[in-house]
Amino acid sequence: MSGGPPPNRGGGSGGPSSAEMDHPDLVDLERRLHSEVDEDFFQDPKKFRTLHRVIDILGMQLLDSADGQQQQQQQQARQASSADFDSIHRNNPAYVALKQQQVIVDEAIEHMAVYHCSDLNSSVVAVGKVSRQFNDASNRVRTLRRQVRDIKDSLGTGDSAADGDANPNEPAGATAVGRNGTAQAGPDANGTAGGGGFGGGMSLRELWLKKLECEAVLSLLHKLEKIRRAPPTFDVLVQPQPPSPCRIGSAVAVLTDALRTMFSDDVAQVQALHKIMEQLMTRKQRAEEIVWETLGDVIYLRTGNAVLPGELEQGGGVLASDHKKHHYVSGEPALRRGRSLGTASSSSTTIREDKSGNSGNDGDDSDVDSVLSDVDYDSGRDGSRTTAAAPGGGDIVGGRTIPRTILDSEVDLEADELRCLEETSASDFAIPQYADPVLALRILTEALARLGRLEDIERVLGETVGRELRRITQAEQARTFARLERRRNAGGGRRGIGGAAEGIDGNMGQLAEADEAMRDFRIHLSNLLFAFGSVALRLSHLAQIVRHKIMTDPQLTGRYSDPSSAMHSVLVAADTLIQQEVKCFLEACLNESEGDNFMYDGMAEEGRGASSHERGIFSLGIITDTASNKDSRSAALTSRANIVELSTDKFVTNVLFARSNMIPQVRNALTFRRSVATWAAESADLKAELAFMTGEDTTSPSYNANPKERAIDYLDSVIQKNLLPMLQEEAVNGTISALEREDAFEPRIDPAMYVRAANSKNVQVEMCVACQALYRYTGPLFSALHRLPKGGEMYSPLVAVLEHAVLTFNSRVKQRVGQICRGKKASALLDANTTFFSDIELRRSYTQLMQAYFGEDDAYAAGASAALDGGSMPISPSAGKSKIKEEKSSGFDAAADYERERSAFEMEVSHLSPLLEFSSKNYGHDLAVCNDDELGRAACLAHSLLNVASLLEARLKTRSGGRDKTAGATRALRGSIKEIREHGVRMAKFCRVEMLIQSVKRMSQICASSTLTAKDAVRLPSCVNDLGEHLTSASDVLREAGGNIIAAYSLSSLEQYIPLFLMQTVRIIAQGKGRKNRSIITLNGVESLDRSGSVLYRDLKGATNFENSFWDDELAAESFERSASFIAMIELDMEELVSYCRNNRGEFSDEDYKLMFSMDGPRRSADIRKFATIDK
């Protein structure tokens, strides 16, 4: 029988339960099984022994066979006739009793199958298990029967032919009948074997006992051999011999197996094993030392660094593709995320970047090997710095902890260790070199559990954590020192404010220079946080493995009061020490008590903060004698021999600051804040994730205890108490101070631009003083905006100060715009109650202006470009806009673009019709225009406002995504910056309309010029020459004050307006207005008009012939050719005019043709009737 005992086999003393009353048949069945079936049938099938029952049945058979030869002959006859097997044993009480028990069990099984079929089907697994156990029992019975036959053969009871006919119940001394029917004698009464068979003189029971005795002796010998071989096998495994490395896991498996055998009951009595026991205990001590040392190497990054992140990026927190490797990955997509606690590099020449964008090139680390040997620290024996850690965050489950599927899998010390060892691991290391840190920690934890030292893991690690973390700090100091040495030997020189790369826009690049100067500090801190984060991650993995081992191992469960908090003290101690190291580095980089003459307060310009002999002509960057002495002292203190012995603060002072030519300043807090905040957040997430995965009580006081100030809290405290008040005061006072200067908005002309060989090159124009001050003084606050936690105590005051500075700036800008535009005709046109201000934005030049300052994706530029994507439109503004919206999706081609530009031009001209009335009375008296100085101020203000608006908007956006991550909290601030932008756009439009009015004011005088009626010679009107000179000078003024983009936009579309003004002059002449005595234009006058168009084309193209100009050759050629054709119609006679009108009817409007037919020209007289005949 197989399977476990029936329920409630022991019975109970109480009355029948309700279940018994409901199922009386089951109660009766259980009673029969309890009373009529032997107890041992319900034991574990593996422990069930059947041989004694076989012996009992055979023994009864032998006793029954002594009744006489007649019964034996009858039995043989029945066997020969193949009678039923049961009839052979019907007189055997042992067999009958066993058969009765079988019948009872068969009835029970049949009852369960018939009446409880649904219950049986409800548990397929249980039925399958019962079936397998039954099959196993059947196989064992067959095996026992075969063994009985083999025993009978060994006893010599008959040859192979008589084996099947022999009576199993015959006694050993009975006479057997051979094949020929003769009797064969058995052993005599003295037990001698008459037949000469082996062992014929012993009974079957004695042989069985002899077999058991031999098996016991063999088992004891096997155990002794195992104990004897254990010490040399252990020595071979732990002493690496090429090409086999040290295999401590396999050695522990062999050793613990021998020790377990040594202390077993049968071997413990052997006194001769005393010396071997001493050897085993010595090896056990050696094994513990190797395991502790290897565990320290894995935790503190000296091994277990060969698993690359590329192998782990399978996604989803599952096993890697190779299921034999205990690799795991982060629950987040591969990232994103940039470098974090556990990203790594697989190359010796590596550039590592954290989430704040701080990157550094570690370069070749061969020079640092001698220094690293002093601190016994190695970043993976092959020289690479890689870990198997993946960045976490977001969801707690499936992050950086080990998945439960891996923890639940059984650890095979021998096979798993072979897979975990590094393929390139050198064989001369005294301890193993692992590739996968997670599997290595599981192997070492299992080894400690088998050695019985798992309880000491918290004590041992707690004693060494401080020393190990300090060694990691020293190793990072050595790496940084070696990197600085390599750069100095390569000729890199000092890295500081003077040696940093210059930023854009002159003084505005000081923020970039400061970040560049702190690059070595950021790289060192990034490497330090990287190493500490990897250590914390591996300690968390170890804690998770230990807690799981304690909870799942019955031998360890009772030894811990709270298994979910195992190694909590080690984690707390490591976190405290790490926080102290990071805080010590930050304290050395900051100077909380310093007044800190802020570098953005114009110190570089005005010479403040420099010593007396470094000013004036001596300010050539030469350091003082004191600084030189300081460098010599620091060089003596920072030799390669004692670099690792420096404390963190001394290393920062004597190495980093000495090499970068800088001093500790409180403003450095913003440089480190993002990296420290990211590291602190990931550390907190890792702690919460570990507590979640192991079931640790997060409400306990020990879990939430935080006795000392953390690094991020210290940094935030310095920022809030020391840095932000200084930055806020600097932003407000610096901006106001610049706004109060007399030259706050005056152009800043670069004298070098006048000595350039090529005048057409792009001119780099600085912003005005006020815009530079706003950008410079608010720069640190904008930088802090992205590095401080959104919505915190420091965030809202910071945004309020920025908004205050921008609003103050806007109030002064509004006054400046009013001063420049007051009383000007261009301002009146822009402020008129029409759509002229918005219709200007339909021109392509406006789109180019916006794209030049704000980029392709700018909303303003996109809106203008979309507006220009419409088709042709009538002169009516409303109709034109609706047409643009309807044809927005019409696509782009050259013809459509030309038509859209012409339609936008016509819409713009519809608002300028009063300017075209050249012959009106008092025309030009109200055309107030700017002089060159005022035009330069307007261009400078437009360029400065647009430039500073684009720079400030860029500061509100994140570096990677390009989106404003603070959109909700900074809505008012973004509105204020948008107002700066709107002022800049208005001034740019003002400059464009101003140039238009300047041109029309001069060209309106052509129709009254005497050169049109001159008969003796062809002369150009003086106003034409005046306009050409003005275009050239205005172009220079605009470029000097506002740069090429503002100049290009201001001069844009004049290639269309100047031909339009020429045609309007012809219309005035045709109407007989504008000239005294209504004199007729002469042929010389016609030639003068034609030459005026050519001269103006030449002058305008020369004025716009610079880089980034908006000049349109196609539009210019078409417009000037059209005006030339219109002028040429004046000199045609009537026949030629009729022919021209008939052949080119669509070139001009009917009104224009009527004017040509109604005027008296040099070669024709007016005849309007000719025009009417053309239609007929």
Q: Is 199 exposed, middle or buried (0-12, 13-18, 19+ CB in 10 A)?
A: middle
What pLDDT was estimated at residue 73?
A: 52
Closest among 815, 1041, 814, 1049 to 932, alpha carbons compared: 1041
* Amino acid at the residue 381: R
What pLDDT was estimated at residue 352?
A: 34
Q: Residue 1134: how many CA atoms within 13 Å on its side-chain side? A: 14
Q: What is the CA radius of gyration of the chain?
A: 51
Q: pLDDT for 275-292, tens place per residue?
A: 888 888 999 999 999 999
Q: What is the biggest distance separating any 2 CA atoms in the chain, rounded to whole angstroms?
A: 174
What pLDDT was estimated at residue 889?
A: 39
Burial of 663-684, coded b for 16+ CB within 10 Å and e otherwise, reads ebbbbbbbbbbbbbbbbbebbe
Looking at the DSSP bridge assignments, the partners of residue 351 are 361
What pLDDT was estimated at residue 506?
A: 40
What pLDDT was estimated at residue 306?
A: 63
117 CB neighbour count, 10 Å cutoff = 10
Structure tokens at 156: 């010599």
What pLDDT was estimated at residue 86?
A: 60
- Give the whole-angstrom CA distance, residue 304 versus residue 535: 12
Residue partners of 228: CB distance under 8 A and separation at least 6 = 276
Give the DSSP H/E element, type plus range, for residue 716. Answer: helix 711-718
Mean pLDDT of the chain: 74
Scan for tokens 């080690």, then name that residue: 570
Q: Is 1015 exposed, middle or buried (0-12, 13-18, 19+ CB in 10 A)?
A: exposed
Angle CA 1139–1140–1143, to nearest 5? 85
**Helix/strand/coil for 360:** strand
- Give the whole-angstrom CA distance, residue 232 versus residue 251: 10
What pLDDT was estimated at residue 883?
A: 43
Looking at the DSSP bridge assignments, the partners of residue 359 are 353
What pLDDT was estimated at residue 867?
A: 44
Structure tokens at 579: 């926080």
Q: Helices H, strands E: what count in the chain?
A: 48, 4
Torsion angles phi and psi, residue 860, rounded to 5 = -65, -45
What pLDDT was estimated at residue 18?
A: 60
**Helix/strand/coil for 1071:** coil
Quick check: 709 and 729 in contact, CB under 8 A? no
Scan for tokens 């034996």, then name that residue: 72
* Amino acid at the residue 343: T
Three-state helix/strand/coil letters over 865-894: HHHHCCCCCCCCHHHHHHHHHHCCCCCCCH
* Amino acid at the residue 996: L
- Give the whole-angstrom CA distance, residue 522 versus residue 516: 10
Quick check: 479 and 531 in contact, CB under 8 A? no
Query: For 278, left (φ over 0), alpha (ψ -120 to 50), or beta?
Result: alpha
1084 CB neighbour count, 10 Å cutoff = 18
Structure tokens at 385: 């710095």
What pLDDT was estimated at residue 355?
A: 34
What pLDDT was estimated at residue 1128?
A: 92
Residue ranges, the chain, pLDDT below 70: 1-22, 43, 46-47, 58-90, 116-125, 127, 156-201, 243, 306-398, 423-429, 492-516, 593-641, 707, 750-762, 856-895, 958-968, 1074-1078, 1176
Scan for tokens 């990677």, then name that residue: 960
- What angle, rounded to 10 degrees, do the helices at 668-694 and 519-552 form? 10
Q: pLDDT for 443-478, tens place per residue?
A: 999 999 999 888 899 999 999 999 999 999 999 999
DSSP 450: H
Residues comprising the chain, all counted: 1176
- Give the whole-angstrom CA distance, residue 971 versus residue 875: 39
Structure tokens at 1131: 């000199």
Distances (CA, A) of 942 to 200, 459, 1108: 123, 71, 17
Per the confidence metrics, is the pTM higher than 0.85?
no
Omega within 30 of 0 (cis) for the link into 243:
yes
What pLDDT was estimated at residue 159?
A: 44
- Give the whole-angstrom CA distance, residue 22 versus residue 29: 14
Quick check: 803 and 785 in contact, CB under 8 A? no
What pLDDT was estimated at residue 163?
A: 43
- Give the whole-angstrom CA distance, residue 820 versus residue 986: 12
What pLDDT was estimated at residue 584?
A: 93
What pLDDT was estimated at residue 119?
A: 65
**Helix/strand/coil for 522:** helix
- Give the whole-angstrom CA distance, residue 95 versus residue 103: 12
Structure tokens at 869: 């994507």
Q: Strand 351-353 vs strand 359-361: parallel, antiparallel, or unpaired?
A: antiparallel
**Helix/strand/coil for 518:** coil
What pLDDT was estimated at residue 123?
A: 65
What pLDDT was estimated at residue 900?
A: 81
- Give the whole-angstrom CA distance, residue 988 versus residue 1050: 7
Quick check: 481 and 640 in contact, CB under 8 A? yes
